[in-house]
Amino acid sequence: MSSNPAPTALRRSLGLWAIVGLGLGYMTPMTVFDTFGIVTGQTDGVVPSAYLFALIAMVFTAISYGRMTRVFPSAGSAYTYASETIHPNVGFLVGWSSLLDYLLLPLVNALIVRLYLESFFPQVPGWIWVVAYVAAITAMNLFSMSSTSRVNGILVAFQIVLIAVFVALTWTALNAGEGNGTAFSLAPLFHSGVHLGAVIGGATVVCFSFIGFDAITMYTEEAKDTKTVPKAIVLALMIGGAIFFVAAWFAQSRFPTLAGFSFTDDTLPEIALKTGGLFFQILFISAAVAAAVASSLASHASVSRMIYVMARNGRGRISRSLSYVHPKFRTPATAVLLVGAVSLLAAAFTLEFVSSMINFGALIAFTVVNATVIIHFAIRHKQYRGAKQVVRNIVLPAIGMLLTGVLWANLHFDALTYGLIWLTIGIITLLVLTRAFRRRLGVTLDDDGAGDPAVITREGAPVDSTR
């Protein structure tokens, strides 16, 4: 009998709606009001169209994520799927690219909270708020995933309630003749002077809001039943997309132009004030802070699990440290602390600088996940006989690749520049880890042995555990 203790596995504590809630918390429904001014300017006043385009693109990708998480029921998301279906080296670069976005999201939320608190308490140094906030978020993620899920659920519900109140107040204002004078005008979707290129440009901004449905796959090894994860992916995307679209529709109907706004980079406070007065503004900003907290909890949890899985598949002291699971809390402790340390940079960076780097890796991951469906089902397993298999295994993921590719190609120049720099660092890191490709990266999808339908060996061959 081996003297080495068995590795501690993550705790399976998350049900379907807990996972959906984490996805919605990650997506941050309130951001539709923060970016409303920016997207209105880019799209010439058709913000709902930008959300609709992004949602359609994400639906095809969500289907691909759902299918691949059934094949490889492990945390790791696009990194895992690319490693298993294409090559571990490709998987590493996909994971590395995604890591940039996922690491920055907790940092962005800490930065937003810092800005809110600095506006209320200008005499207090911003770094104090960052340290206190990051410490609280890190502690919650470290001690219990189930507690993180419960708090996230409460905060998401608070956001949805305030958005519903906004819709009700706006409906009343529209009926009174303000804005477009009706909620049923098609002007928020299309009007003269609007071009498809502008809508796609706006979609590249709002697709940032959809980053989160894919992060649900990070919780696969903590789901009570891994079969609920594909359903949670689609539910989170569709619920989140509906919230974004409805909120954007009513906001655009009430404010068809930016006339009267003094600050268009973040229109949330003024939208709230113009909609319901000072008291509603206080409530709305409170919901925005709740949104940042919920997103922090969810994004911190998901990226720490990506780091955990990538480290678990590596070799050496650093990999063993980053893949450490606390024996009592059953959370990836070192990875959680690392994400917290990175988030402290919110004390120094600006929101404009950080946000310019987000979306690069996520859109790469989305494109690759669609490709892995074609590679795994159509190429490897020859499942292209008959119209149904052709549509499921080739046509749908190909459409997903095309749409996410269009979004990626229309990213802001700064996002492409910083993203390519980060990718170059990843390539150098891969060369070091593989000794210039002379040593193969291994992939191991270990779990707690709870009877998942697939166990993946280090060579990447799926083994049916039910046989």
How confident is the model over 366-374, as a mean pLDDT? 94
What residues contact 335, with CB distance under 8 A and at least 6 apart? 304, 305, 307, 308, 311, 322, 323, 324
Percentage of the chain exceeding pLDDT 70: 87
Rounded to an integer, what distance in angstroms lies between the CA atom of residue 416 and that of residue 68? 27
Is the model's pLDDT at 467 over the cut of 70?
Answer: no
Whether 107 contacts 345, CB under 8 Å: yes
Whether 325 contacts 10, CB under 8 Å: yes
Q: State the Rg of the chain over Cα.
A: 22
Instruction: Give per-residue pLDDT as tens, 372-428.
Output: 999 999 999 999 998 999 999 999 999 999 998 888 888 777 778 888 898 999 999
pTM of this structure? 0.77
Of 354 and 169, more confident: 169
The pLDDT, as a whole number, for residue 66 is: 85
Instruction: Give per-residue pLDDT as tens, 225-235.
Output: 777 888 888 89
Any idea which of 16-30, 81-95, 362-376, 394-408 has the lowest mean pLDDT? 16-30
Provide the 3-class DSSP secondary structure of residue 228: helix
The pLDDT, as a whole number, for residue 9 is: 62
DSSP 172-205: HHHHTT-TTS-S--STTT--TT--HHHHHHHHHH
Any idea which of 80-84, 157-161, 400-404 has the lowest mean pLDDT? 80-84
The pLDDT, as a whole number, for residue 252 is: 96
What angle, 0 to 180 degrees and rounded to 10, lies between the N-to-C axes of helices 47-71 and 196-210? 50
Instruction: Using pLDDT thresholds of 50, 70 and 90, give the confidence band for residue 170.
Output: very high
The pLDDT, as a whole number, for residue 17 is: 83
Query: Tokens 């780091």 — which residue?
Result: 307
Query: Tokens 């002007």 — which residue?
Result: 187
Instruction: Using pLDDT thresholds of 50, 70 and 90, give the confidence band for residue 72.
Output: confident
The pLDDT, as a whole number, for residue 330 is: 76
Backbone angles phi, psi at 454, to 5 degrees: -140, 140
Backbone angles phi, psi at 462, to 5 degrees: -70, 140
What residues contact 150, with CB distance under 8 A and at least 6 apart? 18
